[in-house]
Amino acid sequence: MMPNWGVCMSINFVRRGVLAGMASAAMMLTVGAPAIAQETIKVGILHSLSGTMAISETTLKDVMLMLIEEQNKKGGVLGRKLEAVVVDPASNWPLFAEKARELITQHKVAAVFGCWTSVSRKSVLPVFKELNNILFYPVQYEGEESERNVFYTGAAPNQQAIPAVDYLMSKDGGDVKRWVLAGTDYVYPRTTNRILEAYLKAKGVASEDIMINYTPFGHSDWQTIVSNVKKFGSAGKKTAVVSTINGDANVPFYKELANQGVKATDIPVVAFSVGEEELAGVDTSNLVGHLAAWNYFQSVKNPANAEFIAKWQAFTKNPKRVTNDPMEAHVVGFNMWIKAIEKAGTTDPDKVISALPGIEAPNLTGGMSKMLPNHHITKPVMIGEIRADGQFDVVWQTKGLVAGDAWSDFLEGSKDLEADWVGKKCGNFNTKTNKCGS
Amino acid sequence: MIQVRAFCAAVISLFAVLMFAPAAQADFASSLARFAQDEFSETALAIDEIAASGDSRAQQVLEALGSARLFVDPASKKVYWRAATSARTIHDAANGEPVVDPPAGLQVVRINNRLRGATLNAIGALTLMAPDPARRRAAAESIFKSRDASALAPLEAAIKVEKDPSIATLFAQARAVLMLAAPQATKDQQLEAISILRMRADIGAIAALRSTNASADADVKALAADAVTAIEARLKLMSHVQNVWYGLSLGSVLLLAAIGLAITFGVMGVINMAHGEMVMLGAYTTFVVQEVFRAYAPDWFDWSLPVALPLAFLFTGLVGIAIERGVIRFLYGRPLETLLATWGVSLILQQAVRTIFGPSNREVGAPSYMSGAFDLFGLSVTWGRMWIIVFTLFVFVSLLLALKHTSLGLHMRAVTQNRRMASAMGIRTPWVDAMTFGLGSGLAGIAGVALSQIDNVSPNLGQSYIIDSFMVVVFGGVGNLWGTLVSAFALGVANKFLEPVAGAVLAKIFILVLLILFIQKRPRGLFALKGRAVEA
């Protein structure tokens, strides 16, 4: 028996096929009270419970289960109980679309809470449009989108990336003059870096002071890149790294930074995808002072947050379990949805979609977030520094809440666009030509 | 010696007091009170005042602030610090006395990067004459990096009394940086500074030379630019050496991941898709061992890896034997079924680990000998990577010896070369199969111990290595251990030379394309086995 490369190439095909088969055959479970089907309102939860993204998405499934359980204890909504329908799209982007279709057509869910990566969101969009249902998307993303059926409860670039860069340019942030934009090679980092590059150039940063670097998903050998960053940072100008590195690749990246002695006081790294959950796998004592920009941190002190953390740790029966920003986005999104159903008096998607803009729900950092006509929400922006215990110290935050902007003002072709689902009934209204559809 | 230093310290303090007369009027207690405000601007003022106070308590307070050991009691607004060595002893910052019964609810004084930098600079200036050489070294480096002009006076004083030649050089370099940046320095001073920095010849020296004061003499600027070009040329040469080193390091990781597969796939011919999960189980064994150490013997934490190695080998070896006895032995000679079955096993193992340990990453700490880096002729070598290379070579040599010189090795080779003949000679071939598979799995397990030091420990750990491992084994020539070694290092070095030119994404694609072309030309890899045994 002498397998050659041909056999190894075919492994990939076999893996794909089996993956899809296994995941759709098994892993379908329905949780909730065994009530009569007509009486409950079904809520779809579309988060990967296996595969690469399980690390981040499993938590979001749990937080949804907790919110639904809690709402049921309060008596549900419109006098009916809620019932969670959990499916596992297994980090497989086409499977996300299949599972979304299954949730809507077979289980007749009233709304879906789900997706993490932008590519999974793009994959389910046509399904939600065709079957006219509602998706709540809880993760910070690259913007350049506003759909009638989607409500974006995570941050748009102007609620995360731009304020973070502004902070680093300020005196407190270290007066940074030279920039490394490092990211994983897919749509979110590429679009965010395009926006940031345009923004930095508008602020007078020269091209030679910007270094852009992309790495594959799950990249684990960071020696060359970290040493290049060190070299780039030796030009005599204060340098910072803006990291859109996603998922598993972060841990080896931070380990290499620590090992090569890149201290936050020399070259700070500000990350957009690293939160409490990701840091749980890293010894942070050498990373103190590196930054993250989010709209929520577990360390924020206020009664609503303290109560949420206590409930979460009790629900997961783990007193050390951390909370993070996308979890807060689901909390806000879920409460907005409940209020919209109460306002509309029905779960009919069309009525709930028109009821949602204008709805307000408290966020966990002490403010009142509002759903805007462009289907994004208002959020505070916070910059946190990593502490030795894996939590963040908030070192800066915006005075009030920032309104999410779907179309970036710094990109050609996007700055004239405006999303308004209330007045103009359009997700990409061109203010120059006064027409819907760019 | 120490007395001289103490005397000098006193002189410096006096000097500092004179220099910062207005700030010094604010007494120590009122500076401390600023910490209680919990405002970055107040903390910044407090750092400046305390650094300038020349007070003997200053160093303790600033060091505590820098390492998050300075506390404020929100009720009484009093400031405390905790000793670096003991987690329990709390001292009153106002007098340095230990407090027997510290108030509850103490809050850490928060700082940001700017304040952290300012604190480090202030400590640097205060510890230039510390008796401990390591601290003087750190102080020199911190001034070198910060280019804080106010450190010049204490630095000059420290240079006069420094006896250790290597530290004296560091002091001179730090002074050179300050001289270059200072507008009032004379041309001669700056020229001397440039030659000192040229000798240092590293990235930091380039940064310092590039920040030469804009108002400096044209000659000085020209010479600085010249020095930068000279250092850059040297560093360019070094970067090739560095690429080779990074390549060897990547190669060692590839080899470590692939070496177990070279046995199960290479020697036995089993397409084992669960190989990556054996690596993952090894990494989780390390995690469990470390948890036990953390709970019962935190002082012996450095021993967690040596203890984890044999345990990981045994555990994954046993799992491997169980898989061979339970699944694979029914499928010999049916590669496609083996592939599917082992892939199913890999999914089961992944999901089992996910259920037991949760889906998120687990923290595997680095023992002290695995963290940090050292400088080798301008090449920054991280300890962790170096030990992994050494360890990989050790594993490789031990495996070669085991195959050549033990009876199990002899049986293994006999069975793989001619099963029926070996059986006729009285070798229990099923037992040898199980042992061989166990050995391959055990090797994957110890790879997991090493990989837990550089990668995440999550249920997906194995997936990222399985394709690379097959690549290494196939490229090297199936069934040939030396081929696996050469192929791993060749792929590693090629990848690292391509990466700076093409970027990480393209480098990986290039390598794959080259590999496919190579396999088209030589389907049996670099070192193909020859003879009748191959056809069997």
pLDDT, tens digit, for every residue of B190-236? 888 888 888 888 888 888 888 777 777 888 888 888 988 998 888 88
> Are B493 and B244 contacting, i.e. CB atoms less than 8 angstroms apart?
yes
At A178 the three-state DSSP class reads strand
Across the interface, whether the CB atoms of A395 and B112 are under 8 A apart is answered: yes
**How far apart, in whole angstroms, are the C-alpha atoms of residue B535 and residue B289?**
44
Which region, left, alpha or beta, applies to residue B525 given φ > 0 means left and ψ of -120 to 50 means alpha?
left
| Tokens found for residue B399 | 């495996």
Percent of chain A residues past pLDDT 70, beyond the cut: 91
> Of B32, B126, B42, B46, whose CA–CA distance to B79 is shortest?
B32
> Of B313, B307, B230, B329, whose CA–CA distance to B279 is shortest?
B313
> Of A149, A153, A152, whose CA–CA distance to A131 is shortest?
A149
Kindly list the residues from chain A whose CB atom is less than 8 angstroms away from the CB atom of residue B344: 18
**How far apart, in whole angstroms, are the C-alpha atoms of residue B314 and residue B316?**
6
Q: Say which residue the tokens 């405000």 belong to.
A: B37
All residues at 6 or more sequence positions from A95 whose CB lies less than 8 Å from its CB, including other chains: A20, A23, A24, A89
CB pairs under 8 A between A and B: 201
> Are B273 and A11 contacting, i.e. CB atoms less than 8 angstroms apart?
yes
Render pLDDT for A10-33 as a digit per residue (tens, 0 to 9): 444 444 444 444 444 444 444 444
> Of B505, B8, B473, whose CA–CA distance to B272 is shortest?
B473
CB half-sphere exposure, B176, CA atoms < 13 A:
26
ipTM: 0.80
Across the interface, whether the CB atoms of B269 and A2 are under 8 A apart is answered: yes
All residues at 6 or more sequence positions from A217 whose CB lies less than 8 Å from its CB, including other chains: A52, A184, A185, A186, A246, A247, A248, A249
A360-369, B325-334, B410-419: which has the highest mean pLDDT? A360-369
Domain parsing of chain A, residue ranges: 159-294
> Are A54 and B459 contacting, i.e. CB atoms less than 8 angstroms apart?
yes
B204 touches chain A (CB under 8 A): yes
Report chain A's terminal Cα–Cα distance, integer Å. 60
All residues at 6 or more sequence positions from A289 whose CB lies less than 8 Å from its CB, including other chains: A263, A264, A265, A268, A385, A386, B112, B113, B116
> Are A353 and A376 contacting, i.e. CB atoms less than 8 angstroms apart?
no
User: CA angle, corner B482, sides to B478 and B488, nearest 5?
Assistant: 80
At B78 the three-state DSSP class reads coil
**How far apart, in whole angstroms, are the C-alpha atoms of residue A198 and residue A192?**
10
User: What is the reported pTM?
Assistant: 0.82
pLDDT grade for B104, boundaries at 50, 70 and 90: confident
| Residue A282: Cβ within 10 Å count | 24
- B533 pLDDT higher than 60: no
Kindly list the residues from chain A whose CB atom is less than 8 angstroms away from the CB atom of residue B450: none
All residues at 6 or more sequence positions from B39 whose CB lies less than 8 Å from its CB, including other chains: none
Q: What is the pLDDT of residue B141?
A: 84
B41 touches chain A (CB under 8 A): no
Q: Which of A49, A54, A234 lies nearest to residue B204, judging by beta carbons?
A: A234
At B58 the three-state DSSP class reads helix
Percent of chain B residues past pLDDT 70, beyond the cut: 93
> Are B227 and B476 contacting, i.e. CB atoms less than 8 angstroms apart?
no
Q: Say which residue the tokens 């910059």 belong to.
A: A383
pLDDT grade for B10, boundaries at 50, 70 and 90: low
Across the interface, whether the CB atoms of A261 and B372 are under 8 A apart is answered: yes
- Helical (H) or strand (E) element with B39: none
Helix B133-146 vs helix B203-210: crossing angle, to nearest 10: 40
- CATH number for A159-294: choose from 3.40.50.2300, 3.30.365.10, 3.40.140.10, 1.10.3720.10: 3.40.50.2300
Q: Say which residue the tokens 């046995």 belong to.
A: B263
Provide the 8-state DSSP code for A400: S
Residues comprising chain B, all counted: 536
Across the interface, whether the CB atoms of B361 and A55 are under 8 A apart is answered: yes
CA distance A157 to chain B (A): 24
Q: What is the pLDDT of residue B456?
A: 83
All residues at 6 or more sequence positions from B321 whose CB lies less than 8 Å from its CB, including other chains: B434, B435, B437, B438, B441
For residues B453-475, give the mean pLDDT.
Answer: 88
Q: What is the pLDDT of residue A389?
A: 87
**How far apart, in whole angstroms, are the C-alpha atoms of residue A183 and residue A280?**
21
Positive/negative CA dihedral, B215, B218, B220, B225: positive
> Of A232, A155, A149, A162, whose CA–CA distance to A195 is shortest?
A162
Higher-pLDDT residue of B396, B212: B396
A-contacting residues of B 348-407, CB under 8 Å? 350-351, 354, 358-363, 365-366, 371-373, 380, 382-385
B117 touches chain A (CB under 8 A): yes
Least reliable range by pLDDT among A13-22, A331-340, B138-147, B516-525: A13-22
Render pLDDT for B253-278 as a digit per residue (tens, 0 to 9): 999 999 999 988 888 888 899 999 99
**How far apart, in whole angstroms, are the C-alpha atoms of residue B216 and residue B184?**
9
- B378 pLDDT higher than 80: no
**Percentage helix, strand, coil for chain A under 3-state DSSP, each rounded to 5:** 40, 20, 40
Burial class (CB in 10 A: 0-12, 13-18, 19+), B29: exposed
Kindly list the residues from chain B whose CB atom is less than 8 angstroms away from the CB atom of residue A193: none
- Helical (H) or strand (E) element with A106: none
| Tokens found for residue A187 | 């749509």
Q: Say which residue the tokens 């700030």 belong to.
A: B23
Q: What is the pLDDT of residue A132?
A: 96
Render pLDDT for A77-119 as a digit per residue (tens, 0 to 9): 999 999 999 999 988 999 999 999 999 999 999 999 999 989 8
| Tokens found for residue B382 | 């991280």
> Of B51, B472, B425, whose CA–CA distance to B250 is shortest?
B472
CB half-sphere exposure, A287, CA atoms < 13 A:
30
Strand partners, B207: none
